[in-house]
Amino acid sequence: MTKVAPSLLNLLNPRSVIWLSFFICQLATAYGVIDDRGVIITFEKPPTKIVSLLPSLSESVCTLKSCSELIGVDDHSNFPNEINSLVRVGPGLNPNLELIVSLKPDLILISKNNRAADALQSLGFKVFVFETNSYEDFKRGFKNLGLILKTTNAEMILSSIDEELAKVSMSLPNTLKGSEGLRVYFEVYTGPYAASESSFIGETISRLGLNNVVPKSLGPYPKLNPEFVVKANPDFIFVNLSDYENLINRPGWRHIKAVKEKRVCGLSKMEADILTRPGPRLPKAGRIMVNCILNTRSIN
């Protein structure tokens, strides 16, 4: 008579069966999300101890109603107010690794150009890397955060952002839009470093229907020869408030159309934060630009 081989479960004791069942359940609930390096990051459950090393990522986590999952942020993260009580782990590009280790995060959010990613990963931390140059990068990253955090509202929020920005654009007169419309120069930092057509800021300018005098061929944030701006002769200039008063003293700049007509907007630190971060406050960034254009300030 042939004997039937016992099943695997029959060979296991009750405690082993329980652990095997638990392990199988864990495998069934695990999920992976691909970061902007093309690396699949696996999660057993949504992270609850997150360190963010970029202000726009901190804002995105909070926009997804997950501020409570943040335990540490970089020194420049300052919005929303809920994160101001969190541990500061140093500058985003040069974070305090010892402090991060002490926090024992279960996820670290970091930009692709941050060299700390490899060091943090070698310490055994789960690191998710984001590209943050363009609006498409922001949308992809925002959706990925939604997947990581197991939220269901990422797509809806992105749609709302697009709708709000379209409304902001409509508040500009059509005479300022299109190929023959307002030609804009946006200075990110003294140098001058400018935001070109290919930058996140440049995309905001374009989506408002305006024209950027700095072409995408120069890269997202090129350092320009000051004469370039003089020759480009923009109709309107955005500049940091700290450089606002001295703009007219730059060689040749007093002859630029925007300067002669006093169509220059000096941006406060708070306004510059909103405008330069590729995050969910895009409609507010657009509104700041529109308000500047329609309510220009003068240079003495």
Domain boundaries, the chain: 27-152, 171-294
Residue written as tokens 């902001």?
Answer: 168
Provide the pLDDT for residue 107: 98
Counting Cβ atoms within 10 Å, is residue 103 exposed (0-12), middle (13-18) or buried (19+)?
middle
Instruction: Please name which of 139, 134, 97, 136 lies closest in space to residue 114, comparing C-alpha atoms.
Output: 97
Provide the pLDDT for residue 176: 95
Report helix, strand and coil shares of the chain as percent, to nearest 5. 45, 15, 40
Provide the pLDDT for residue 28: 56
- Strand spans (E) along the chain: 31-34, 40-43, 50-52, 70-73, 87-88, 107-111, 127-130, 183-189, 193-194, 211-212, 236-240, 264-267
User: How far is Cα 52 from Cα 74, in angstroms, rounded to an integer?
Assistant: 6
Provide the pLDDT for residue 295: 84
How does DSSP assign 49-86, residue by residue?
SEEE-SHHHHHHHHHTT-GGGEEEE-TT---SGGGGGS
Provide the pLDDT for residue 138: 96
Provide the pLDDT for residue 12: 53
Please determine, looking at this structure, whether the domain spanning 27-152 carries the CATH number 3.30.1370.60. Answer: no
Instruction: Classify 171-294 by CATH class.
Output: alpha beta
* Omega before residue 192 within 30° of 0, cis: yes
CA 84 to chain centre: 18
Q: Which element (helix H / strand E) includes 16?
A: helix 14-29
Q: State pTM to two decimals.
A: 0.86
Give, for all 300 residues of the chain, the pLDDT tens digit.
444 445 544 555 555 545 555 445 455 589 999 999 999 999 999 999 999 999 999 999 999 999 999 999 999 999 999 999 999 999 998 999 999 999 999 999 999 989 899 999 999 999 999 999 899 999 999 999 999 999 999 999 999 999 999 999 999 999 999 999 999 999 999 989 999 999 999 999 999 999 999 999 999 999 999 999 999 999 999 999 999 988 999 999 999 999 999 999 999 999 999 999 999 999 999 999 999 999 854 544
Handedness of CA 143, 149, 152, 153 (dihedral sign): negative
